[in-house]
C-alpha cells in the first residue's frame, strides 16, 4: 500500500511542477454521483492441506460476474484552461455503495463418502461457496490531455467476504470455514468530461483495476489464492462550486 501511495504522490508532484497554471488558481470543490457497469473477473486455486499425493490436491477455477453499481465522489479541481473547459487537474475520492458477488453462480462441490468407522453408510458431502466484495474505495487523480480528454490513475481498496454452506451424510465430518480479507489495487483509465454554464459537471469514462493476490487459509488448513480484476464503464453527473 505504501508503494502505491508513493507512486500516486509522484504523479501529483510531477504534474504540479510541469503545469504552472495550477499553482496560481484556487481549487474548486465538486461532488457528484456515478452509475457504472462493472465486469468482475477472478481466477483462483484451492490447495488441499491433506494431500496424499494420489488425489487432485489443487483445484482451479475462473469466475466472472457483471453488475450495475452506484457511487458518490468528492473532488478538488484546478485550472480549466490547460486542456478544455471543465477539464482541469483533479484529485478525488470515490466510494462504491453496496456489495457485489464475485461470481454469477454459486460454487458447488460434491465429494463421495465411502464406508468407514465414522459413517454408517456411503453417501455424499456437498460444499457451497460464494464471495462478495464491498467497501470499495478509490483515491485518484485525473490529468487533462487535450480538450475534454483526460487520463486517470489511482489506488483502490476492497473487502472480500466469503460465505460457505455444507451438507453431509457423514455426521462426523467437520467442514472448513474461510476467513475474510482486504485487498489493495491500482487503477487506470481514460475519459471525457466537461462543465456547463450552470457548473454542472459530466464525465464518461472507462477504467480497469488490478487488485493484489488474495490469499486466505481455511480452518482445516486449505489455502485459497485468487487474482481479482475489475473493469468499469461509467457515467457521472456532479456540481462544481
Residue-wise pLDDT tens digits, 207-238: 999 998 877 776 666 677 778 889 999 999 99
Lowest-confidence segment of 58-67, 140-149, 167-176 by average pLDDT: 167-176
Does 82 or 74 have the greater pLDDT score? 74
Query: In which band, very low, low, confident or very high, does the pLDDT at 99 lie, cut at 50, 70 and 90?
Result: confident
Find cell 490529468 and name the residue: 143
Residue 98: predicted pLDDT: 82
**What is this structure's pTM?**
0.72
pLDDT at 225: 75
For residues 154-158, give the mean pLDDT.
93
- pLDDT at 78 (0 to 100): 86
- The average confidence (pLDDT) of the chain is 75
Residue 12 pLDDT > 50: yes
Pick from 24-33, 52-61, 113-122, 143-152: least confident: 113-122
Is the pLDDT assigned to residue 119 strictly greater than 50?
no
The span from the CA of 42 to the CA of 227, in Å, is: 5
Strand partners of residue 130: 163
What pLDDT does 18 receive?
Answer: 47
User: Which of the pair, 40 or 163, is modelled with greater confidence?
Assistant: 40
What is the average pLDDT across 80-95? 81
SS (H, E, C) the chain: CHHHHHHHHHHHHHHHHHCHHHHHCCCEEEEEEEEEEEEEEEEEEEECCCCCCCCCCEEEEEEEEEEEEEEEEEEEEECHHHCECCECEEEEEEEECCCEECCCCCEEEEEEECCECCECCCEEEEEEEEEEEEEEEEEEEEEEEECCEEEEEEEEEEEEEEEEEEEECCCCCCCCCCCCEEEEEEEEEEEEEEECCCCEEEEEEEEEEEECCEEEECCCCCEEEEEEEEEEEEEEEEEEC
Those residues with Cβ within 8 angstroms of residue 135's Cβ, 6 or more apart along the chain or in another chain: 157, 158, 159
Residues of the chain above pLDDT 90, percent:
35
Most confident of the ranges 53-57, 60-64, 166-170, 179-183:
179-183
Where does the pLDDT of residue 186 fall: very low under 50, low under 70, confident under 90, or very high at 90 and above? Answer: very high
Average pLDDT over residues 152-171: 74
Sequence ranges of the domains in the chain: 2-42+52-102+136-160+183-240
Confidence (pLDDT) at 104: 46
Partners of residue 26 on adjacent β-strands: none
What pLDDT score was predicted for residue 141? Answer: 96
What's the CA dihedral at 72, 77, 80, 84 to 10 degrees? -40
Amino acid at each position: 500500500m505504501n508503494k502505491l501511495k508513493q507512486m500516486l504522490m509522484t504523479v501529483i508532484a510531477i504534474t504540479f511542477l510541469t503545469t504552472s497554471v495550477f499553482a496560481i488558481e484556487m481549487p474548486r470543490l465538486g461532488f457528484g454521483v456515478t452509475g457504472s457497469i462493472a465486469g468482475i473477473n477472478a481466477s483462483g486455486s484451492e490447495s488441499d492441506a491433506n494431500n496424499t499425493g494420489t488425489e487432485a490436491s489443487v483445484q482451479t477455477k475462473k469466475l466472472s460476474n457483471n453488475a450495475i453499481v452506484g457511487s458518490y465522489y468528492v473532488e478538488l479541481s484546478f485550472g480549466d484552461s490547460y486542456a478544455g473547459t471543465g477539464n482541469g487537474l483533479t484529485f478525488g475520492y470515490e466510494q462504491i455503495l453496496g456489495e457485489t458477488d464475485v461470481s454469477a453462480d454459486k460454487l458447488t462441490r460434491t465429494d463421495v463418502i465411502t464406508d468407514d468407522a465414522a459413517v454408517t453408510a456411503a453417501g455424499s458431502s456437498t460444499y457451497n461457496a460464494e464471495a462478495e466484495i464491498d467497501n470499495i474505495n478509490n483515491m485518484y487523480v485525473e490529468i487533462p490531455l487535450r480538450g475534454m480528454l483526460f487520463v486517470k490513475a489511482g489506488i483502490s481498496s476492497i473487502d472480500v467476504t466469503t460465505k460457505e454452506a455444507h451438507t453431509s451424510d457423514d455426521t462426523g465430518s467437520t467442514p472448513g470455514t474461510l476467513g475474510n480479507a482486504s485487498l489493495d489495487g491500482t487503477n487506470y483509465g481514460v475519459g471525457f468530461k466537461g462543465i456547463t454554464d450552470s457548473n454542472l459537471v459530466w464525465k464518461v469514462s472507462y477504467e480497469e483495476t488490478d487488485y493484489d493476490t488474495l490469499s486466505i487459509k481455511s480452518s482445516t488448513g486449505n489455502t485459497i489464492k485468487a487474482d481479482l480484476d475489475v473493469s468499469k464503464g461509467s457515467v457521472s453527473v456532479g456540481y462544481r462550486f
